[in-house]
Homo-oligomer: A and B are copies of this chain.
Amino acid sequence: MATLGELERAVMDLLWERPEAITANELRDLLSQRPAADGRGTDVKSLAVTTVLTVLSRLEKKGLVERERNTRPHRYQAVTSRAEHTAELMLEVLGSAPDREAVLARFIGTVSDGEAETLRKLLGRS
C-alpha cells in the first residue's frame, strides 16, 4: 500500500513541487520534459493524456491526490506535502517493528552529523 510505481512517483514529484493544482495536460507536458529516469538519452517520451489520467485516478484512489471536479479541465493536487508523506511512510515502516527502539538506534547511527544536529534541535530538551 505504500510503494508507488515509477510513473506514479514522477507525477507525485511534480505535484509536490507545485503549490497550485494543475491539469492532466499540463502534467503530461511536464512529464515529457523530464529526462528519462534511467539517465542516458534525452528520451523525451511523450505519454498519452489518458495514461496520465489513469495514473492520477489511481493516485486519487490511494488518497494521495485530490481533484477539483467542478472546474472543467479537472485540476489535480497532492493531498499532503512530500515531507508529510515521507514521514508517514517512515512511521509505517517503523510501526510494523516490535523492537522500535532498536530500530531507532540503528537509524540514528546512520544519519549524517548535520542531521543528527537537526534532530537534537527538534527534540529540544524534555
Residues of A at the B interface (CB closer than 8 Å) are 2-3, 81-84, 86-91, 93-94, 96-111, 115-120, 122-123, 125-126
How many copies of this chain are found per oligomer? Answer: 2
Interfacial chain B residues near A81, Cβ < 8 Å: 102
Residue of B82, B84, B93 near A90 (CB, 8 A) is B93
Residue of B103, B111, B122 near A83 (CB, 8 A) is B103
Most chain-B CB neighbours within 10 Å: which of A81, A107, A115, A119? A107
Can you list 19 A-B contacts (CB < 8 A)?
A: A82-B103, A83-B99, A83-B105, A84-B106, A86-B96, A87-B103, A87-B109, A88-B106, A89-B93, A91-B107, A91-B110, A91-B111, A93-B93, A101-B115, A108-B119, A108-B122, A108-B123, A109-B122, A119-B123
